[in-house]
A and B are shown apart, each in its own frame.
Chain A
Amino acid sequence: MVLSLSSLLILAQAAVGPSAAGAEDAPERQERIAYQPVLEQPAAASPPNSLVPATAPVAPDDALALNESEPRAGKLRMFDGGKLLLTNGVTTVEGSSGGGLARWATIGGRQMAGGIGASAHVTGIELADFGWRSYGIAVGLGDRIELSYARADFDTRDIGTALGIGQGYTFNLDTFGAKLRVAGDLVYGETWLPQIAVGIEHKRSRDGALVRALGAADAAGTDYTLSATKLFLARSLLVNATLRYTEANELGLLGFGAAGGGADYRLQFEGSVGYQLSRRAVVGAEYRSKPDNLGLGDDDWMDIFAAYALTRHLTLTAAYVDLGSIATIPGQRGGFLSAQVAF
């Protein structure tokens, strides 16, 4: 009944309509019915005794036109990054969000809560006698979970001959990481509450027979980490502390544990401090302790780094690293260069 009535009304309107709704006066009609929000009426011209000075209108160029339409997967925003520069960290040699060497509590990717982001990295380290290459990807789920994979290739170059494993023998390591933010925020919230995350890193050496021959108990192992990271804005200082429960020899490149038993999981420490020079630039230092299960003089690692966010998506990190003695060869210092692309 109601339906038929309303359709009739529409018919009636259509019947009288054509003469009134000519093409030329259609815009005029629209103009008349346009709703003018009250607050958009021009303000009383600059108040005479206001504390607020008149500012120049924002030119269109100044407006941050960053609102590209982003792909979506259901309700999840894909790659709709909104993090502040550098707050996703750079990438560690094991593929996790962090400093160059130390894992941080930060989550990789530029996504915010409810979004999905990703990052990829390549890292090269040139040491006195060895070369390191690693590359990998990380996926961030909201501000909560990070899943990562990295492949590391450790080139023994001329030392390979001396060690009896062949010129240029390259150790390979796969690292599968997961990290869960359990509390706090890197930037916001209470100053005393850092961003805290727990995580694992499952590593698989691709040189099983060799690392066992070198004395390792296993070719695969899992690290457990607890990280706390905070940006102390009042000091422009980023501080990170990570506890790592591990049995890895040289991160796992030389396997896990020692065949003779005895050496097992140990608690290790990773610390970073960074000073923010600008929104885009941070300089700092890191320290990472490591166990010496194999008795090969596995040293603690340290670095001095500078990271620069060239764009929202591209961050470059350069560092001077001192990795001490590796596989009995001392004095392994050199340059570290890493590029990270994040969305």
Chain B
Amino acid sequence: MLLTATASALLMLMQQAPAEGTDWDAEFGVEAKQRDPVTGEFPVDPYPQSNANAGAAPYDGAGLAAAFGGREGIARIAARTVDLSEADPRIAPIFASHDMVRLKRTLGEQFCYLLGAGCDYTGRDMKTAHAQMGVSRADMNALVENLQAAMREARVPFAAQNRLLAKLAPISRDVVER
């Protein structure tokens, strides 16, 4: 036993410090994901795309979309909601390891589709997209507050804000896990 210990101690002493500036990713074979140069998004595994993935039927008519500032206004509100949530200590950790560029796009598409502004939703369905995230009702409320803040900043009338929330509220059953 003493012999083994001495041998190990000797081995330790003989070890060399690794060279400065070692590329550890290369040493351990870690592949960094590359963002798509055009969209700026990380690649995702293929999945069947359908507007049904948005989780609800869209509103008819253009009035509601206009209240949100059209497609551009909707995209801005979605992006702002994500920004606020990333900065919100209550729920920021949920967003930390996900692709915010993609989320801003798909969330904007979902809002745009549900509000009848004529977009197609290309994201995954709500259950798949939120699997294993452990989202709670309190997290959901925090997100709703951030969305409300984004809509308020964009001067969306309150009744119109609630019309969007009315589409999202039933979908929450696929998002909230605990």
Q: Known contacts A84-B144, A279-B148; is A55 also within 8 Å of B76 by CB?
A: yes
- Assess the B158–A51 pair: CB atoms within 8 A: no
- Assess the A112–B97 pair: CB atoms within 8 A: no
Q: B72 in the interface, Cβ–Cβ < 8 Å?
A: yes
- Assess the B104–A52 pair: CB atoms within 8 A: yes
Q: How far is the CB of A326 from chain B (nearest CB, A)?
A: 38
* Chain A interface size range: 35 or more
Q: CB-CB contacts of A176-188 with B at 8 A, as 1s and 0s?
A: 0000000000011
Q: CB-CB contacts of A43-66 with B at 8 A, as 1s and 0s?
A: 111111111110101101011111
Q: Known contacts A12-B9, A233-B165; is A58 also within 8 Å of B158 by CB?
A: no
- Assess the A67–B90 pair: CB atoms within 8 A: yes
Chain B residues with CB below 8 A from A276, complex form: 158, 162
**Nearest residue in A to B90 (C-beta to C-beta)?**
A67
Q: Known contacts A58-B87, A64-B88, A236-B158; is A82 also within 8 Å of B137 by CB?
A: yes
**Nearest residue in A to B35 (C-beta to C-beta)?**
A44
Q: Known contacts A12-B13, A51-B108, A52-B79; is A5 also within 8 Å of B40 by CB?
A: no
Interface size on B, residues (CB 8 A): 64
Complex CA–CA separation, A189 to B176 (angstroms):
10
Contact of A62 among B87, B169, B173, B178 (CB under 8 A): B87
Q: How far is the CB of A1 from chain B (nearest CB, A)?
A: 6
Q: A277 in the interface, Cβ–Cβ < 8 Å?
A: yes
- Assess the B12–A12 pair: CB atoms within 8 A: yes
- Assess the B137–A236 pair: CB atoms within 8 A: no
- Assess the A51–B75 pair: CB atoms within 8 A: yes
**Nearest residue in A to B159 (C-beta to C-beta)?**
A236
Q: How far is the CB of A99 from chain B (nearest CB, A)?
A: 19
Q: How far is the CB of B157 from chain A (nearest CB, A)?
A: 10
Given A47-B41, A143-B137, A233-B169, 6 extra CB contacts under 8 A: A20-B17, A51-B71, A63-B87, A84-B144, A188-B176, A236-B158
Can you spell out 10 A-B residue pairs with CB atoms less than 8 angstroms apart?
A: A13-B12, A39-B98, A50-B39, A60-B87, A62-B84, A63-B88, A64-B142, A113-B137, A232-B166, A236-B158
